[in-house]
């Protein structure tokens, strides 16, 4: 068995399909994918392979950048008619923001949203990107989302804005560096997913 851990949206939108393909190629291997906002510990062996949006700071962890995630600013299809174009607003007055919950207040996209529109109302917060996207689709406000999510839901992209992209880091415990199964899985995921999504 190989146990992987990452955030919920990255698990479902990015990893699930290539992992299923890998499992078909290796019928004697079980893949366990843990989708959780909590950061699994490699040191405590809670997972064999972890994907995170920040570098690892645990001892005995081997890590590397896995891919770069494109983030974009989105609104729902009816938001512009209801509230005007947020790209024309210098301070965000009269606009609503959708962002991460307080535990992730320091995330790059949250800092960008609050700096770009300092007078906008923070109307909805969640640690779940899919929930943010759903609130955005209901015309609640402006959300910074992975392009994979925003475009899958046909949200309206704010074309002239460039929120920061995010690196995804891959890590595993040093004791697994000679594992052929883990190496094969990492090679497979790298090939199937690419370096920028």
pLDDT digits (tens, 9 = 90+) for 108-139: 999 999 999 999 999 999 999 999 999 999 99
In degrees and rounded to multiples of 5, residue 32 shows phi and psi of: -115, 120
Question: What pTM did the predictor assign?
Answer: 0.89
Asked if residue 112 and residue 95 are part of one domain, the reply reads: yes
Q: Taking CA 181 as the corner, what is the angle to CA 180 and CA 185, rounded to the nearest 5 degrees?
A: 115
- The mean pLDDT value of the chain amounts to 93
Domain count, the chain: 2
Residue 181 Cα distances to 23, 31, 50, angstroms? 11, 11, 15
Which domain range does residue 92 map to?
Answer: 71-157
Asked if residue 139 and residue 76 are part of one domain, the reply reads: yes
pLDDT for the residue numbered 189: 97
Asked if residue 153 and residue 182 are part of one domain, the reply reads: no
CATH assignment at residue 7: 3.40.190.10
pLDDT for the residue numbered 37: 67
Cβ neighbours of residue 131 closer than 8 Å, sequence gap 6 or more: none
Instruction: Give residue-wise pLDDT tens across range 35-80.
Output: 986 777 777 788 999 999 989 988 899 999 999 999 999 999 999 9
Instruction: Give residue-wise pLDDT tens across range 75-105.
Output: 999 999 999 999 999 999 999 999 999 888 8
Asked if residue 35 and residue 8 are part of one domain, the reply reads: yes
Closest CA to 109 of 51, 39, 55, 161: 161
């Amino acid at each position: 068995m190989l146990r992987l851990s990452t955030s919920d949206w990255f698990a479902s939108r990015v990893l699930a399909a290539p992992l299923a393909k890998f499992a078909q190629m290796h019928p004697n291997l079980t893949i366990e994918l843990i989708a959780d906002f909590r950061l699994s510990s490699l040191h405590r062996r809670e997972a064999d392979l972890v994907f995170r949006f920040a570098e690892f700071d645990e001892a005995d962890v081997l890590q590397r950048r896995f891919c770069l995630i494109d983030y974009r600013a989105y609104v729902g299809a009816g938001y512009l008619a209801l509230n005007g174009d947020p790209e024309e607003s210098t301070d965000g007055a009269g606009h609503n923001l959708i962002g991460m919950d307080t535990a992730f207040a320091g995330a790059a996209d949250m800092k960008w949203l609050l700096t770009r529109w300092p007078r906008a109302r923070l109307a909805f917060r969640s640690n779940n990107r899919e929930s943010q996207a759903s609130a955005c689709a209901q015309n609640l406000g402006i959300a910074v989302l992975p392009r994979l999510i925003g475009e899958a839901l046909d949200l309206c992209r704010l074309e002239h804005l460039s929120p920061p992209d995010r690196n995804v880091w891959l890590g595993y415990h040093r004791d697994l560096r000679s594992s052929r199964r883990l190496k094969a899985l990492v090679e497979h995921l790298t090939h199937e997913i690419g370096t920028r999504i």
